[in-house]
C-alpha cells in the first residue's frame, strides 16, 4: 500500500493524492470490478461519452483536473497489479483521508457502541456511506441500508460498500418524502442519522400536506420552516417496537423556545431515551455545537449527559473521549442525571444537559427574580444605520432629545461614563429604555458575559442597547446591591450559566432570567453586606488614585533623568 501511494504521488505531480485516489477508485470500480466497459475504452474521450452516472462523475473529475490519456495509462498499469486486499486497504485510506462526511470516526464509533449489534441497520441520510462502512466492519454479518438524495454521495456510498463486499441496499431518494422505505412498510431495530442540518423549507404547505406516510407517530407541533425535526420524525416512524436510533442533532433543537411544543410531544410519546451534549468542534466542517439524541419507544424518563469536557483538543476537530462518555451514560456521575418526562415538560424549557445539571446541583430556597423586580427588559433595538444617523449632532439641539448609549463594551462592574456615545433622535422615543440608578445591567446576547451596577445621577439620560438586559429591583422588597452581589458570586454565576443558551454567541432569555431564584436573607444582613462592599469599593478607588499619582511621579522622574 505504501509503495502504491509513493507511485501515485510521483504520477500527476500537480494533483492532490486524495483526488488521484478518488479517480483510481472509480476506474477500478467501472473497468475492473464491474467490467462495465472494455479496458481499451479507458481514455478521456470515451469515458466522457458514456451515459452511465458513474462515468459522468469520473468524466467530471478527469476534465476538472486535466487528466490526460497518458496519465490514465499509467494508472491502468498500477490497477493491473493491484490485489483485492490492496484495494480494500487503499479504499480505507481514501475514506479517512478524503471523506466529505461531517461525522468523525470517534463519533461513528460512539454511535455504533450505543446502537449495538443488529441484523440490519439503517443510516437515514447516509452520505458517502462512512457510518455504514464503520458499522459493517464492526458487525460484518449485518445488512446495511441507507437513503441519500445527493447523487454523487449516493454513488460514492454504493461503490464504497460494494468494494468492501457488504450486503447493502442504498436508496437514491428524498429522506423527508414518502420514499421506498415507507412504501414498503419497513421497520428497523437500529437507525443512525446525521442529517443535513438547518435546511429551510420553501414549499411549506406542500410538504406538510404530504406527511400521510408517517402513520406510527404524528406530531402537531412540527416547525414549519426548518426541517430538523422533520428528519427526526421520519427516523422514529421507521423504528420497530424494540428499536433504537442515534441522531446527530444541532444543539439549537434542544433549546429554541419556539420548539418547546415539539420537544414536549416527543416526551409525551415516550420517544426520548437519552441526550448527550457533545463538546464543541465535534464534527468535520461544522462549527456549531451538537448533541446525540438517543431515541426509542416507551420511555418514562430521560438520561441527560454532559459530555462537553469529554475530549482531547485537536487541530481542526476535537477528539471524543468515548470511554468517559459511555461511563457517564451508563453509570453514576455528577455529569449525568435521569429525569422523568413529566419533570422535563413541567419544569424545564430546554433539553440542555449541562444547564439542567447546573440547575439541579444548585437547588436551594429562594424567591424568583420577577417577584423582586419593578421591571426587567431588553435595551433598545436600534439598527446600525439608524444608530449612525442619530450620532450626528444637529445644528439646533433644542429640536432633539439627547441620550447616551450603554453597550456591552461600555460597562464592567460599573458603567464607563467617559466612553459613552451620544445620540440625538428627533423625539423622546426611547424614554421607555432609560436606565436608573442601581439598575443591574447584564449581557443578553454576546460572546462575553458581563454584569454591571448602574451608579448615575438622577438627571442622567442613559439607555442600553438591545444586547443588554436591564434588571430594576424593587428596593422595598430587596436591596438591589445585594442582588448584584449574589449574581456576581460563584453560585450566582453558575445559576446564570445554567440558563445560557448557545455556544460562541450565547443568549440569556428574560423569561428564564425572571425565574432565577435569589436567596432571601434578613434585610439587615443584606444591608450589612452591601455596606461592606461599598466600603471596599471606596478603598479600591483611593488605592487607584494613589497608584495613578505614583505613576505620574515615576514619569516625572523619567523626564528629570532625560534632562541631565
What pTM does this model have?
Answer: 0.78
The DSSP letter of residue 475 is T
> Distance (Å, rounded) from C-alpha 201 to C-alpha 199?
7
Quick check: helix, strand or coil at residue 302? strand
Distances (CA, A) of 366 to 485, 503, 533: 15, 28, 22
Cβ-contact 193, 227 below 8 angstroms:
no
| Cβ contacts of 116 within 8 Å, gap of 6 or more | 190, 244
Distances (CA, A) of 154 to 53, 140, 161, 194, 288: 11, 21, 11, 15, 25
φ, ψ (nearest 5 deg) of residue 360: -70, -30
* pLDDT for 308: 94
φ, ψ (nearest 5 deg) of residue 47: -65, -40
Sign of CA dihedral 424, 427, 432, 436: positive
Q: How far is CA 62 from the centre of its chain?
A: 37
* pLDDT for 204: 47
* pLDDT for 498: 86
Quick check: helix, strand or coil at residue 376? strand
Quick check: helix, strand or coil at residue 323? helix
* pLDDT for 205: 47
Distances (CA, A) of 175 to 180, 209, 263, 418: 10, 16, 21, 58
Write out the chain's pLDDT in tens, 564 residues: 556 667 777 777 678 877 887 788 888 888 877 778 888 888 888 888 888 888 888 888 888 888 888 888 888 887 887 776 766 666 666 665 555 566 888 999 999 999 999 999 999 999 999 999 999 999 999 999 999 999 888 998 998 898 888 999 999 999 999 999 999 999 999 999 999 987 766 554 455 557 899 999 999 999 887 899 999 999 999 999 999 999 999 999 999 989 999 999 999 999 999 999 999 888 887 778 899 999 999 999 999 999 999 999 988 889 999 999 999 999 888 899 999 999 999 999 999 999 999 888 777 789 999 999 999 999 999 888 888 888 888 777 666 788 999 999 989 888 888 889 898 887 778 999 999 999 999 999 998 899 999 999 888 999 999 999 999 999 999 999 999 999 999 999 988 988 888 767 888 989 999 999 999 999 999 999 999 999 999 999 999 999 999 999 999 999 889 887
Amino acid at each position: 500500500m505504501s509503495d502504491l501511494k509513493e507511485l501515485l504521488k510521483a504520477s500527476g505531480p500537480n494533483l492532490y493524492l486524495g483526488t488521484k485516489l478518488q479517480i483510481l477508485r472509480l476506474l477500478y470500480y467501472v473497468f475492473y470490478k464491474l467490467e462495465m466497459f472494455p479496458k481499451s475504452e479507458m481514455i478521456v474521450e470515451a469515458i466522457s461519452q458514456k451515459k452511465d452516472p458513474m462515468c459522468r462523475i469520473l468524466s467530471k473529475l478527469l476534465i476538472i483536473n486535466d487528466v490526460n490519456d497518458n496519465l490514465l495509462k499509467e494508472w491502468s498499469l498500477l490497477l493491473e497489479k493491484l490485489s483485492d486486499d490492496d484495494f480494500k486497504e487503499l479504499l480505507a485510506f481514501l475514506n479517512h483521508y478524503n471523506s466529505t462526511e461531517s461525522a468523525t470516526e470517534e463519533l461513528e464509533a460512539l454511535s455504533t457502541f450505543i446502537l449495538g449489534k443488529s441484523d440490519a441497520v439503517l443510516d437515514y441520510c447516509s452520505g458517502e456511506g462512512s457510518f455504514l462502512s464503520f458499522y459493517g466492519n464492526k458487525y460484518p454479518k449485518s445488512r446495511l441500508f441507507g437513503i441519500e438524495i445527493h447523487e454523487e454521495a449516493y454513488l460514492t456510498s454504493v461503490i464504497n460498500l460494494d468494494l468492501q463486499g457488504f450486503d447493502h441496499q442504498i436508496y437514491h431518494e428524498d429522506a423527508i418524502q414518502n420514499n421506498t422505505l415507507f412504501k414498503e412498510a419497513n421497520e428497523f431495530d437500529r437507525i443512525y442519522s446525521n442529517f443535513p442540518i438547518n435546511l429551510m423549507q420553501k414549499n411549506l404547505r406542500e410538504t406538510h400536506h404530504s406527511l400521510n406516510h408517517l402513520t406510527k407517530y404524528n406530531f402537531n407541533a412540527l416547525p414549519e420552516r426548518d426541517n430538523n425535526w422533520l428528519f427526526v420524525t421520519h427516523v422514529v416512524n421507521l423504528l420497530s417496537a424494540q428499536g433504537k436510533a442515534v441522531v446527530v442533532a444541532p444543539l439549537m433543537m434542544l433549546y429554541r423556545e419556539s420548539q418547546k411544543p415539539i420537544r414536549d410531544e416527543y416526551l409525551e410519546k415516550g420517544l426520548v431515551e437519552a441526550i448527550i451534549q457533545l463538546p464543541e468542534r465535534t464534527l468535520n466542517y461544522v462549527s456549531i455545537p451538537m448533541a446525540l439524541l438517543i431515541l426509542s419507544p416507551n420511555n418514562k424518563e430521560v438520561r441527560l449527559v454532559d459530555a462537553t469536557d469529554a475530549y482531547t483538543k485537536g487541530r481542526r476537530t476535537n477528539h471524543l473521549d468515548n470511554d468517559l462518555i459511555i461511563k457517564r451514560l451508563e453509570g453514576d456521575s455528577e455529569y449525568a442525571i435521569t429525569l422523568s418526562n413529566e419533570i422535563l415538560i413541567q419544569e424545564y424549557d430546554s433539553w440542555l444537559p449541562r444547564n439542567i445539571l447546573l440547575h439541579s446541583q444548585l437547588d436551594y430556597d429562594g424567591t424568583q427574580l420577577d417577584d423582586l423586580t419593578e421591571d426587567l427588559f431588553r435595551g433598545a433595538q436600534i439598527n446600525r444605520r439608524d444608530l449612525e444617523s442619530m450620532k450626528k449632532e444637529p445644528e439646533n439641539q433644542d429640536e432633539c432629545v439627547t441620550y447616551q448609549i450603554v453597550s456591552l463594551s461600555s460597562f464592567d462592574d460599573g458603567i464607563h461614563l467617559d466612553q459613552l456615545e451620544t445620540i440625538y433622535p428627533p423625539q423622546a422615543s426611547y424614554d421607555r429604555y432609560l436606565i436608573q440608578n442601581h439598575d443591574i445591567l447584564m449581557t443578553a446576547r454576546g460572546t462575553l458575559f458581563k454584569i454591571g451596577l448602574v451608579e448615575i445621577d438622577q438627571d442622567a439620560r442613559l439607555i442600553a442597547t438591545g444586547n443588554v438586559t436591564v434588571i430594576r429591583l424593587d428596593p422595598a422588597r430587596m436591596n438591589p446591591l445585594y442582588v448584584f452581589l449574589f449574581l456576581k458570586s460563584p453560585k450566582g454565576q453558575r445559576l446564570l450559566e445554567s440558563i445560557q443558551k448557545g455556544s460562541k454567541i450565547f443568549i440569556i432569555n428574560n423569561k428564564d432570567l425572571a425565574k432565577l431564584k435569589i436567596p432571601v436573607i434578613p434585610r439587615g444582613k443584606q444591608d450589612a453586606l452591601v455596606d461592606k462592599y461599598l466600603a471596599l469599593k471606596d478603598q479600591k478607588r483611593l488605592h487607584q488614585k494613589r497608584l495613578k499619582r505614583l505613576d505620574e511621579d515615576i514619569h516625572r522622574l523619567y523626564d528629570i533623568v532625560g534632562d541631565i
